[in-house]
Amino acid sequence: MIYLDNNATTRLDPRVLEAMMPFLTDQFANAASTHPFGVTAHEAVKNARQQVANTLNCEVHEIVFASGATEAINLAIKGVAESYAHKGRHIVTVQTEHKAVLDVCHYLETRGFEVTYLPVQPDGLLDLETVRAAIRPDTILVSVMLVNNETGVIQPVQAIAALAHTAGALFMTDATQAVGKMPIDVDTLGVDLLTFSAHKFCGPKGIGGLFVRQRRPNKVKLEALLHGGGHERGLRSGTLNVPGIVGLGKALDLCRQEMPVETQHIASLRDHLETALLTIPGTRVNGNREHRLYNTTNIYFEHCDSDAMIMGLEGMAVSNGSACTAASIDPSHVLLALALNETEAFSCLRFSLGRFNNEADVQRAIDGVKNAVEGLRALV
């Protein structure tokens, strides 16, 4: 299997599994227990929290572990909505956000909140003047994802955060596709809330987290979603997933150590794949090619249904959009926001490369896609 769908999920690094194994077998204690057995688990969680803090350049008490980015996003947005409703009931986000953000915002609209969904330019980037114009005195939160999961486009979150803060609003970023893949400094970016998920950077599924700024000037107060035990400083009750947390910390340590070499390797593979596929007539890249993550390319193939292409690519895993909406019969909302029509949006493939891909994978992918395109166009 040639796996080129790393934005959906990644293979668990064997070194991460090795770090997790003791806590899946002999060291199975509850991290909240006070006996020596529990203290060992607690220390492992404490170490992982430090590993996350080292990656994000934040304090350890600013990290809240959750089951993944979706839960973290729910905690962040709903938590802000409840805590700051007395200041205002307006939220600003973007049409190209992940459904985890959009669906939470739609829910809040049924609870009396007003949400502005910003359009993007045809290359997927936000216009800063559009952002500035959308922020109002009653805006309590601006939420803009750092890296788009379908196109890899990187938004100018540092500048957007500054606009939010100038107006007295908090700024959140869904960094699920960024953490572990690019350097992240929450202070440099100016973010107040940031979400991430371990399975996007060769860690285990079922674990992720939320950065919640606790240092002034923007100390964030959140209302909890889950109650019952007061775990994670009262923000996320429930017995901690110690093996998952250990795996998350180990995965981030590996990313931080290997990022310079890995970035160059994956970027080279992506560029080779993209350059070769763009020699096919009737193709183009969706999204800005300068401001995007090095591992992703989203390509339009004229007169080629993406589902038919995926079916024809035997032994190869690629996608036509977000894994979270793969069962949907609707076209990608991200691509529609980039001014593609429905037919065009149904004719695109996302290729997302990762740590375990190599040149042979890319060459097989090039050959496979060219054959699939030729075969489909012959039927037109």
Is the predicted pLDDT of residue 94 greater than 60, yes or no? yes
CATH code at 2-8+259-378: 3.90.1150.10
Is the predicted pLDDT of residue 322 greater than 70, yes or no? no
Is the predicted pLDDT of residue 323 greater than 90, yes or no? no
Per-residue confidence (pLDDT) for residue 327, from 0 to 100? 57
DSSP letter at 70 equals H
| 364 vs 329, more confident | 364
| 228 vs 144, more confident | 144
Q: Which amino acids are annotated catalytic?
A: 324
Of the listed ranges 126-140, 227-241, 365-379, the one predicted with least confidence: 227-241
For Cα atoms 80, 211, 74, give the angle at the middle one, nearest 5 degrees. 45
Q: Domain limits of the chain?
A: 2-8+259-378, 14-252
Per-residue confidence (pLDDT) for residue 216, from 0 to 100? 80
Per-residue confidence (pLDDT) for residue 217, from 0 to 100? 78
CATH 3.40.640.10: does it fit domain 14-252?
yes
| Mean pLDDT of all residues in 258-268 | 97
Judge residue 331's burial from the number of C-beta atoms within 10 Å of its C-beta, 0-12 exposed, 13-18 middle, 19 or more buried: buried
| Mean pLDDT of all residues in 226-243 | 90
Average pLDDT, the chain: 96
Per-residue confidence (pLDDT) for residue 331, from 0 to 100? 93
SS3 state at 342:
helix
Is the predicted pLDDT of residue 292 greater than 90, yes or no? yes
- Fold matches, 2-8+259-378 and 14-252: no
**Alpha-carbon distance 160 to 120, whole Å?**
13
Residue 150: HSE in the Cβ half-sphere, 13 Å Cα cutoff:
29
| 357 vs 328, more confident | 357
**Alpha-carbon distance 84 to 139, whole Å?**
10
Confidence label for 324 from pLDDT (cuts 50, 70 and 90): low
Interval 193-213: pLDDT, tens? 999 999 999 999 999 999 999
